[in-house]
Every structure is written in structure tokens, then in C-alpha cells.
């Protein structure tokens, strides 16, 4: 199982986090401030 994590600094406060699981096809995007989006491919 491979899990990819990517963090990008959008500003000093907002952070974008992308989590990708290539085995199950699940993905999750977290944006600074408590917003989170989930799904599957």
C-alpha cells in the first residue's frame, strides 16, 4: 500500500494537505481552517 502526502503553503495561515491512497483509491483534501473533502476514485 502506498500513501502519498503533499503539503503546500498557501499563506502563513492556510495550509493545503492532500492524502492519496493508491491501494484503495481513497483521497482526502484538508484545507487550513477545518475544511475537509473526502472521496474515492
φ, ψ for residue 25, nearest 5 deg = 80, 10
Can you tell me the distance from the alpha carbon of 17 to that of 31, in angstroms, rounded to the nearest whole number? 6
Indicate the pTM of the whole model.
0.53
- Look at residue 8 in the predicted model and tell me its pLDDT: 59
- Look at residue 38 in the predicted model and tell me its pLDDT: 93
Can you tell me the distance from the alpha carbon of 24 to that of 3, in angstroms, rounded to the nearest whole number? 10
Question: Does residue 18 contact residue 5 with C-beta atoms inside 8 Å?
Answer: yes
List, run by run, the mean pLDDT of 10-residue segments along the chain (41 residues): 61 71 87 85 79
Amino acid at each position: 500500500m502506498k500513501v502519498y502526502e503533499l503539503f503546500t503553503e498557501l499563506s502563513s495561515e492556510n495550509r493545503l494537505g492532500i492524502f492519496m491512497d493508491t491501494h484503495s483509491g481513497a483521497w482526502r483534501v484538508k484545507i487550513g481552517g477545518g475544511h475537509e473533502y473526502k472521496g474515492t476514485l
